[in-house]
Amino acid sequence: MSPPMRAKFVIFDREYHLKAKEGEEYLKIVASYVDGKIKKIASSTNEKGRERISILACLNIADELHKIKEKNRRAREKIQQLMERIEKETQ
C-alpha cells in the first residue's frame, strides 16, 4: 500500500495542505467540488461570514449525500426483488 499523498489546494481563498491515500487527482476533484459549493453559496446569499457560508455548503453536501444513499438503498431493494423474481420464475 502506498503512503498517503499530500497536496496543496485553495478552498474559499484559503490554502490547505491535504493528504489522502487516493492520490492527488482525487484530492483535486474533492477540493474543487467543495470550493465550488462554497463559492456558489457565497454568491447566492447575503451571508458574509466565512464560517456560516462553509456550514451552509456542508449542509448542502450532506443533503446530496443523504439523497444519493437513499437512492442507492432503493435501487438495492429493487435489484433484490428482481433477483428473487427471476429465481422464482426459473425454478
**How many domains does one find in the chain?**
1
pLDDT tens readout for residues 1-33: 567 778 999 999 999 999 989 999 999 999 999
**Residue in 34, 85, 32 with CA at minimum distance from that of residue 62:** 34
* pLDDT mean across residues, the chain: 94
The whole domain housing 54 covers 5-89
Rounded CA separation 44/26 (Å): 27
pLDDT tens readout for residues 49-59: 999 999 999 99
Burial tier of 31 (Cβ tally within 10 Å: 0-12, 13-18, 19+): middle
